[in-house]
Amino acid sequence: LRLRDSMAGERTFSFDSHGLAIDTASTNLAKPGEAYVPVYYPGTADPQSASRIDVRPGADVRGIDFILAGVTTRKVRGAVFNGVTGQPADTANVQLVPRSSVGNTFSGFLNQGKFEVSGVLPGSYFLVANARVGPGNDVRIMGGRTAVDVGYSDLDNINVTLQPAIDVAGSVTVEGRPEGLPSD
C-alpha cells in the first residue's frame, strides 16, 4: 500500500497479522513500541464506533481519505499459575483477546511461569491462558482468564490461574433428518 504523506512525501506501508499498518520505508521505520492503526469514519480507531459509508454500484465517491494514526503500543506482563499445585505453570498459551467481537488478538510467551505480551494496542481484553498438563495419556486441559484494560502505560503483575477443565456428560438429540444426509 502506498500512501501520500503531506509532510514526508510518498511512503510505503504493509499490514501485519493484526491488521496494523507498518511503515516499510527504509528511512521512516516505525520505532519499537509504535504501530500505525487505521482510523475509521468519523475519526475513530475503534471499529465498533465506526459509521458505515454506503457506496452504490457505479457511484463516484470523492473526498474520502484513508488515515493511519501512529499509536504507542504497550506491554502486558505477569505470571500464570497452576491452580492445582499453586506453582508457576511450566507451559501455557497466553493471549489477549478483545472483549468486543472486533479487534486484534495478541499472543505472548511463557518463560518459567512468567509471560510478556508486547505490541498491544489500548483497549479492553481478556487475558486467556490454557495448557495441556500431565504425562502420556494422563493429560488434563487447564485454562483461566482475567479481564484486562490496557490504557496509556504498560501493565505489570497480571496473574492468571489455570483450573482443570470439567467433563460434561450428556447426549444430543436432533429432530428430523437434515437435508442431504443419506437414509439408513
Please report the beta strands in 31-139, taking only residues with DSSP state E, as ranges in sequence order: 34-39, 67-72, 74-82, 93-98, 106-111, 114-120, 123-133
pLDDT for the residue 1: 44
Cell of 147: 479481564
Closest CA to 79 of 166, 28, 175, 155: 155
In Å, what is the CA distance from 103 to each residue of 38, 133, 137, 160, 178? 12, 30, 37, 22, 35
pLDDT higher than 90, residue 76: yes
pLDDT for the residue 142: 92
pLDDT higher than 50, residue 2: no
Identify residue 142 by its one-letter amino acid code: M
pLDDT for the residue 7: 46
Closest CA to 34 of 4, 66, 74, 5: 74
- Other beta carbons within 10 Å of 93: 16
**This prediction's pTM:** 0.66
pLDDT in tens, 7-52: 455 555 555 555 555 444 433 445 567 776 767 777 776 666 777 7
Mean pLDDT across 154-163: 94
pLDDT higher than 90, residue 159: yes
- For the ranges 11-25, 56-70, 101-115, 166-180, the lowest mean pLDDT is seen at 11-25
Cell of 116: 510478556
Higher-confidence residue of 53 and 46: namely 53
pLDDT in tens, 96-147: 998 887 677 888 888 889 999 988 888 889 999 998 877 777 788 899 999 9
